Amino acid sequence: MAEQSQEISQQPQQQNPLTRKLKKILNTRLDNDKELVDALKALSSFFGENTLRARRNLRGDVEKRSLEISEQFESQFKEVKTKLDEISTDIMSMNKCCVEMMDRLKNSKESTADLISKTTHLQNERKELELKGTIADAFLDRFQLTQNEIKALRASKENVVSEEYFNALARCKQIHQDCRLLLRSKQQTAGLEIMESMALYQETAYEKLYRWAQEECRSMTNDMPDISGALCKSIEALQDRQVLLRYTLDELGAARRTAVVRCFIDALTRGGAGGTPRPIELYSHDPVRYVGDILAWLHQAVAGEKELLQSLLRRTNIKEHKPMILEVLNHIMEGICQPFKVRVEQVITSDPGASILFKLGNLMKFYGETLANLFENETSTIVTCIEEMHHLSQQMFFNNLSFHGSKLVEKMDLPPPDLSPSQVVNETLSLLKEVLSSHDTAVSSVSEQQSAYEKIMNCLLDPLLQCCMVAANRMNSADSATYMINCLHNVETCLGVFEFTDVKLDVLSTQIAIHVETLAKEQVEFILERSTLATLCEATKNLGETIDQQTVKSTMGMFDQFLANPDSLNLPQLELLRATRLRESIRSKGLRSIEETYGELYQSLTTTFNIPTNLITRTPEHIKQLLS
């Protein structure tokens, strides 16, 4: 019952509106209600103590507060309205003024339209004229010479080579080249007129420059002339006028030709300054040194003159002017040809001897090739002259060799008692050795050297060997072979140290071998005769005869004496041989022949003639052992 009564008491409470509203208020979160918070803040600004009277008068206080705020707003808004009315009045006044100004501007614009148009037109014209003026100034700067440049080109002779002169000439040349651009445009008339005026300036300037350079070149007659920078600049400028440049170099060539000839004569007769170096003519007694000094001087002169020309043209394109340089150089050195040729011909034709002629030929060949390199293998008079002298010396050399060979037969005497080579043979071999030794230093290709060796040897050796054979034919066989071996051995020794003599050495070796065989046979016959074996050998050849045993015994006794001392029966001519190797070879060949002959004799005596072996005490094997 109590529970039932409690439920009845709670049900009315839940349904009470005041209770629900109170719960709602208590459950409400003030933080989320911004308007309520702002209202409470405003209320706190004027709500004082929380008394009953204050709570009852709260509505009136709020309304009073709202009325005060409204009155304050009205007062302030009234002031704003007053200001706005004043501004509106001012705007109306400004609008009226603007309308009046627009009308005045419109009237002014209508009245000044023509003036503005003319002003704009004049401004455009001014800009156009300023542009044309700038273009005209630029045109004049590029296509006209300044007064200073014209004054420099018209300078006197003394000021031709000034820096201003060359600058003005270069400027004139540049303007003349730039006029080609005008000829490609519509300004052809102006271009032609400017080109014509620049051409006149250039011709006048080049003429002055040519005259000055010509005089400078004429004065270059010293031994070692100095080249000024002004002259080099002049030559550089004159390369645009090839004719004037050629005339200038011709003038230089004429001056240098005279100077070089004078220097050449001075070098021959007077020598250098202070006597050093000494005059070349002092060495005329020594043909090789004399001609060598002349050729060395020529080489130095050609190199110096070429360097002079290249220094003069160093500011130009030397490769382009190389033919002209070589032509002028040839003209300069051409003056020396005649005095050089006369002196060298005099030396060559004075018959200085084959060896000297050969050395002279080598000298001229060397310097001819050296100078040809300086002339870069172009045609040159001085090189041609040296080549002619080389051919003349070669011709005289081979003529001298041929003459020497032809005289060998006339000079050939009987060999000396010791069968050594005669004096003529030694002299000829000495000449050949000297010539071939000189040829080792010759400037020639391998084929040329080989051809020259063969020609030289043919000119001397063939007549020499022929003369030796003629002399040998007047003697007996042993003397002839000995003499020929000595001569041929000397020739072989002479040729053995030189190149390109292999063929000749083979021929000599073959001839020596033939004479060695002859002398070896003579050696065998000499031993057989002295040992009496020759008589016994002759007896064995006649099969119908009988051979006395006592003869065999005595012969074997004599042969034993030879075996005891084999050198006692040497051919006397063997001691006269100069070559020990050949002497031993001949002895060896003779002993081998004795061994063979004794073997045949032993076989014939024991088998054909039935000679007892006790009489022949030596067997062939024993003899071979003794003679080996």
> pLDDT of 240-288, one tens digit each?
888 899 999 999 999 999 999 999 999 999 888 777 888 999 998 999 9
Mean pLDDT of 531-550: 76
> Residue 36 is which amino acid?
L
- In terms of phi and psi (left: phi > 0; alpha: psi -120 to 50; beta: otherwise), the region of 241 is beta
3-state secondary structure 183-217: HCCCCHHHHHHHHHHHHHHHHHHHHHHHHHHHHHH
Question: Domain of 82?
Answer: 70-143
Total number of domains constituting the chain: 4
Q: CA–CA separation, 240 vs 205, rounded Å?
A: 12
To 5 degrees, how large is the angle CA 606–CA 612–CA 617?
90
**For the chain, the helix, strand and coil percentages under 3-state DSSP, each to the nearest 5:** 80, 0, 20
Residues 350 and 427 occupy one common structural domain: no
Report which of 181, 308, 203 is spatially closest to residue 255, judged by C-alpha positions. 308
Q: Are residues 369 and 264 in the same domain?
A: yes
User: Looking at residue 443, what is its pLDDT?
Assistant: 54
88: amino acid identity, one letter: S
The answer for 500, left when phi > 0, alpha when psi is -120 to 50, beta otherwise, is left
Task: Please indicate, yes or no, whether residues 426 and 554 belong to a single structural domain of this protein.
Answer: no
pLDDT in tens, 68-121: 888 888 888 888 888 898 999 999 999 999 998 998 888 888 778 888 888 888
Do residues 445 and 591 share a domain? Answer: no
Domain match, 475 and 494 both = yes
461 and 560 co-located in one domain: no
252: nearest Cα among 225, 281, 274: 225
Residue 95 sits in the same domain as residue 136: yes
Alpha-carbon gap, residue 422 to 259, rounded angstroms? 56
Q: Is residue 430 part of a domain?
A: yes
Is residue 181, in this structure, part of any structural domain at all?
Answer: no
Task: Give the residue-averaged pLDDT of 501-510.
Answer: 88
Is 465 in the same domain as 591? Answer: no
At 445, list the tokens. 């290709």
pTM beyond 0.85, yes or no: no
CA 49 from centre of chain: 122
8-state DSSP, 377: T
Are the C-beta atoms of residues 219 and 296 closer than 8 Å to each other? no
Residues across the chain: 628
Q: What is the DSSP letter of 316?
A: S
Q: Are residues 533 and 457 in the same domain?
A: no
The lowest-confidence range among 382-396, 482-496, 505-519, 610-624 is: 610-624
Give dist(CA 545, CA 153) in Å, integer.
Answer: 131
* Average pLDDT score over the chain: 83
